[in-house]
Structure 1
Amino acid sequence: MMMDTDKQRDLIAYLDFHEEAGVDIALDERPHDRFSGPDAAVAPEVKPVARLAARPPIERGEPEKPATRTPTYGGSAAAPPDAAAGSARAQASEAKSLEELEALLRAFDGCPLRFTAKNLAFSDGDPAAPVMFIGEAPGADEDRVGKPFMGRSGQLLDRMMATIGLDRTGAYIANIVPWRPPGNRTPTPQEAAICRPFLERQIALVDPKLIVCLGSPATQALTGTKDGILKMRGRFHKAQVAGREFRVLATLHPAYLLRQPLQKRLAWRDFRLLRAALDGAA
């Protein structure tokens, strides 16, 4: 018996919802909180016995230490954030080209996001372009394709660039975090800090004339500000990256504009400022 059209459409929509939420595998009939870790499982209740066997005395020396477990994420050992960030700095500094940097990132296992993402979304566009756009993190479409800004936000970004005579052959695009966070959540400060050395090396190798930060996370990561994007947008800021100073323009993220289309007028002003800067008039 064939499934009717309505049921088939509902089933496809149901599966699409789970994919967008980051659910890509079913392991059991009931949900489990995988973020709680193996140590959070409730121990079975043990009934007391009438008499316990006497414990042999401990010889003098070092006191007993409780057993420790290495934290895991996605079934793989996860290094402490400080150690992972140090390893990222050491590896990123060795990259002599963007190709080497991308290869190092593909092999890097210090960021837990790598274990939940399908693909690394390293970059798109022309590294020799004068402007570099930096967003927050890949989404479901970016994770599937392996490039930043491939979904609805990317389509809007393409249209925004087109209004000032730009396209992906005249711009370079990246994110502060190259792996998709589960459920499209905002990257944690620890995840951003671990990935930052790779981003800084990426910026240094591209050496853009201008950097455009799309949204608060990218703006805060590069400029160090705690102000929101509505306060930071529409003007140029300075960012210190790898011992060099870069000119940064903050503007609204395309995903925000999809939710708040009336704010596109602000983004239009920002992109006109970008065009003037590229032409040497601002």
Structure 2
Amino acid sequence: MQAWDIAFKALHAGYDDYTVLRNINANLPTGKISVILGGSGCGKSTLLRQIIGLSRPLSGAVMIGGKDIFALSHAEFRKMRRQMGVLFQDGALLGALTLAQNVALPLSEHLKLSKALLRKAALRVLRMVGLENFADFYPNQLSGGMRKRAGLARAIITEPRILLCDEPTSGLDPITAARMDALLRSMHTHYQDMTLVVVSHDLASLRAIAQHVLIIKDGSTIFAGTPKAMEASTNPYLQHFLRRETDERNTDTHTPIDANIRASLDKWLES
């Protein structure tokens, strides 16, 4: 089975002549929930863009499964990119499409499936995030939390090997944030080999879901390890993050993917 760990090797990244990330050396283990934590402007989102391949490093490397993603051919990178799902901070839903149509986009753009199968696939993942009854609603008819849950449904519809989440609890009230954390845990439980990476500044969320932690301050790594090791650290900057209490979390349910969709999806992922 192919490993889907993510590693940063002496990574420097930024924009033009401005360096945001400096000498990042860290590993996000395969099949685990890794949380990248840090304050606003520390470089978390820049690191996420590197993983997705949206911008190239100034120097160093981003490795996925032992391969430097920026050394891959265009075809090889596209094949790897198909194995990634992304939950954007604002959900990134298209206002002219219904929820079901938005969620089905990753399938409709790449697979020749009937409208009935596309809708069935969309309803399956909408059910997983508690939005099946809102399938025909438009994004402007939904709350911020519902749009994020819909974005999560779209990110997992292809059953990716890597799920990347940018500030999934940002802007949510504590109860809604707790539900989002529960959904992320639920996804990881049912897709056990999925490498889940969450960019966040939310300590309560980290405590609820993290199995591995990477903390960034001013563009540099100041901690990488388990939540237990983080809690035991005497680093003053870490202690600043460790003063909040965690909340109670819940779970959701999973429905297997349709066999016809699975067959088409497998063919696409292998092509």
Normalised to the residue count of structure 1, the TM-score between the two structures is 0.30
